[in-house]
Structure 1
């Protein structure tokens, strides 16, 4: 149980780091350069982790890195960058709050990891809490922004579960660095072709990109994928609800915003949802380690280091 608490605490680093990412992107990064924004976020983070782990892909991980880099990085980062620019943080965070339910469904389909009733209840309660915290009716909603946020949520949910399925026997730091580097390398020439020269950045813009690349990407993704290896997908998805909680608390602490009664109730519901998603105490099978290779008969005989591949 103590080990589960440690993995939960480590995983929570990711949504806390991401909680400020919408604000940083919206306030300090150029709104008309989503491709460069995504590339500059991914590539430095991937190269930084690559220097730390000093491992290169082998065998199937060359194409797996390309697939995961496309889903979790290239496509997702562009969509979330666009959503951050087109939508208020409240609306974008609310759309992304559906991801716990989506991750549970994808994990069930891809890994036969059936969600517990507590996980489903936690996701529903957490979603209601996010709506109470963030949706006041005063925000203007952009339809393209909502579509970008929904697409980002779907792509990331599928990519994260695919990472969980493939990641069992490789170093998490290494696989994270490979997909971030691959995604950044895919994005860079596309950004140059579509958006022209890189944008000129002020000091605040450079600092913002530093936070986005090193904290909200390198550190956050390494923590998130580590959690996915050791915890059920439902638990990890519900921990992700700390993202909007962080945004609300930062608004109170940094911007001097008042915490209303409605927001306080929503905050309590979100935290209750996260608590409901904690790993089952008596079941090691629910710890998230076994589901990474749910079907031993599906393991290729010629590739023992890559469970779950087909």
Structure 2
């Protein structure tokens, strides 16, 4: 439960990120917006871990940085600007189901019949929520959100597969730095000079960089190291829940009855698709990584200053075969 609670920080921060991006960041500079989110976060984590890539991690960092950072951040930025906060975050609710299917192919975590049924119900809920003719639902925004969900799901499971004893904080820093540098070059070529930022925008970028990126990605990748993909996907439900709550309570957005029913179907489908007891029943393979013991947790908190010395940090004992 400690690893679940730590992992939960990420989807809550990401759910709030939709509102912050939509309300405070410049809408016409998605490339610079993504670059200013990724690169400073990567440099902060590099300053904390002080490790450089070795061997295959030079090209792995580039690949994962492109998937998990460059492409994903631009798509999320665009979706956040084109869609209401509640809609953009709800589309991402399908990501746990996508992660299950991708994990089946890449890391042999096979979903059962209940998982597939949950995927069908979740997709039906998304269709009910978005294909009802409701005004204000942007088709490009929906496509951007769906693409972001698919890209991130694949990138996260690929990270899980590649992590072979690499420090989580270090691998996260390499991905963010590589993706941020690529975004900065493309932004300079496509969008020209960087946009001028007001004080609220600078404060918003501070949250997006430090909380929704540096901290959130570190704890998310830790969760993928020590928990099955299905369990992490269930924790990811806090993303759309946070987005919907902020969109309705703070941004004044209103959901129709059909959209609320669609959201309920999405949540029901994802809950149904969780392999909480599949490993005990033989329906799926056991996780690649056994739960860490207390000594590993102590080493984890000692080696990574990002989360202090509270006993649950971001780079615990080396893991067998995944990377994020």
| Residues 247 and 90 of structure 1, relative CA distance in 2, 3 Å threshold | closer
The separation in 2 between residues aligned to 1:123 and 1:9, in whole angstroms, is: 24
| Residues 71 and 236 of structure 1, relative CA distance in 2, 3 Å threshold | same
1:53 is matched with which residue: 45, 49, 53? Answer: 49
1:189-204 alignment to 2 at 5 Å? 189-204=185-200
1:178 and 2:209 aligned: no
| Residues 259 and 141 of structure 1, relative CA distance in 2, 3 Å threshold | closer
Which position in structure 2 is the counterpart of 1:286?
A: 286
Asked if structure 2 preserves the Cα contact closer than 8 Å seen for 1:94 and 1:127, the reply is no
| Residues 128 and 247 of structure 1, relative CA distance in 2, 3 Å threshold | farther
In structure 2, stretches of 5+ residues that fail to align are 291-318
| Residues 256 and 153 of structure 1, relative CA distance in 2, 3 Å threshold | closer
1:1-310 alignment to 2 at 5 Å? 5-123=1-119, 138-251=134-247, 253-254=249-250, 277=274, 279-280=276-277, 282=280, 286-289=286-289, 307=321
Aligned length: 291
| Residues 93 and 139 of structure 1, relative CA distance in 2, 3 Å threshold | farther
The separation in 2 between residues aligned to 1:265 and 1:82, in whole angstroms, is: 26
The separation in 2 between residues aligned to 1:257 and 1:165, in whole angstroms, is: 39
The separation in 1 between residues aligned to 2:124 and 2:8, in whole angstroms, is: 20
Asked if structure 1 preserves the Cα contact closer than 8 Å seen for 2:225 and 2:322, the reply is no
In structure 1, stretches of 5+ residues that fail to align are 291-304
Q: CA deviation at 1:34?
A: 0.5
Asked if structure 2 preserves the Cα contact closer than 8 Å seen for 1:245 and 1:267, the reply is no
The separation in 1 between residues aligned to 2:241 and 2:129, in whole angstroms, is: 8
Q: CA deviation at 1:264?
A: 7.8
Q: CA deviation at 1:141?
A: 2.4
Asked if structure 2 preserves the Cα contact closer than 8 Å seen for 1:168 and 1:229, the reply is no
Q: CA deviation at 1:16?
A: 0.6
Asked if structure 2 preserves the Cα contact closer than 8 Å seen for 1:122 and 1:274, the reply is yes
| Residues 253 and 133 of structure 1, relative CA distance in 2, 3 Å threshold | farther
The separation in 2 between residues aligned to 1:71 and 1:8, in whole angstroms, is: 24
Q: CA deviation at 1:308?
A: 7.5
Q: CA deviation at 1:88?
A: 2.0
The separation in 1 between residues aligned to 2:63 and 2:86, in whole angstroms, is: 30
Q: CA deviation at 1:143?
A: 2.3
Of stretches 247-256 and 69-78 in structure 1, the one that deviates more from structure 2 is: 247-256
Q: CA deviation at 1:238?
A: 2.5
